[in-house]
């Protein structure tokens, strides 16, 4: 199954909401298992087909976590799996790609890219740990996203609304808005080759 822009946006939505990967995989497996046992002959063409089951299992999981001690989980998350060399290589690659993207950007976006590039230059020469760096990189991502969304043209917004039209009734309002924004940002980034800068994309 090929993943569509909607599928990628849904995955990013789950990642940003910190839906555990084992919940997502378990729900997908359940949907496909039930589908194979059914008499339906149509094929599953989108990951969105599994979104309702993922949301249901995520809600159940959240309820099961109430009152549990998360110290061990937090300690594991705080330990970095990235070497300094790997991080520096990532920062260098992102810096070069953003520098190239700046040549295609308009005035406001160009100013934002210059600010991001200056911060990345600082990070390349001075960062203490992966966790703090990731927080800083996420703030830069948000800055870029705000500028991109602010300057998105209506034509592109209408195109994405049309793509999501068939799925809108199946989504909660908050999920729809987030998915719409992620799809819009993906297209805007692709337009002038703006990379993702978070360490998550290493």
Could you report the per-residue pLDDT of 30-68, keeping only the tens digit for each? 888 888 777 766 677 788 888 889 999 888 888 887 766
pLDDT class of 74 with cuts at 50, 70, 90: very low
Better pLDDT: 125 or 40: 125
- pLDDT of the residue at 100: 95
What is the predicted pLDDT for the residue at 68?
63
Q: DSSP letters of the chain?
A: -PPPHHHHHHHHHHHHTT--HHHHHHHHHHHHHHHHHS---SPP--GGGGHHHHHHHHHHHHHHHTT---HHHHHHHHS----HHHHHHHHHHHHHHHHHHHTT--HHHHHHHHHHHHHHHHHHH----HHHHHHHHHHHHHHHHHHHHHT--HHHHHHHHHHHTTTGGGS-HHHHHHHHHHHHHHHHHHHHTPPP-SGGG-
């Amino acid at each position: 199954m090929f993943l569509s822009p909607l599928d990628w946006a849904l995955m990013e939505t789950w990642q940003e909401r910190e839906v555990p990967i084992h919940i997502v995989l378990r729900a997908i497996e359940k949907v496909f298992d039930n589908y194979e046992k059914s008499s339906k002959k149509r094929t599953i063409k989108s990951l969105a087909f599994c979104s309702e089951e993922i949301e249901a299992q995520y809600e159940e999981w959240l309820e099961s976590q109430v009152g549990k001690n998360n110290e061990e989980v937090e300690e594991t998350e705080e330990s970095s799996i990235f070497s300094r060399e790997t991080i520096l290589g990532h920062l260098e690659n992102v810096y070069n790609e953003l520098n190239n993207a700046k040549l295609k950007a308009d005035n406001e976006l160009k100013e934002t890219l210059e600010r991001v590039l200056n911060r990345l230059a600082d990070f390349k020469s001075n960062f203490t740990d992966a966790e703090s760096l990731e927080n800083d990189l996420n703030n830069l991502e948000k800055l870029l996203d705000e500028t991109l969304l602010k300057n998105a043209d209506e034509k592109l917004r209408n195109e994405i609304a049309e793509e999501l039209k068939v799925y809108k009734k199946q989504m909660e309002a908050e999920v729809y808005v987030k998915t719409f924004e992620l799809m819009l940002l993906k297209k805007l980034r692709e337009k002038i080759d703006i990379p993702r800068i978070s360490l998550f994309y290493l």
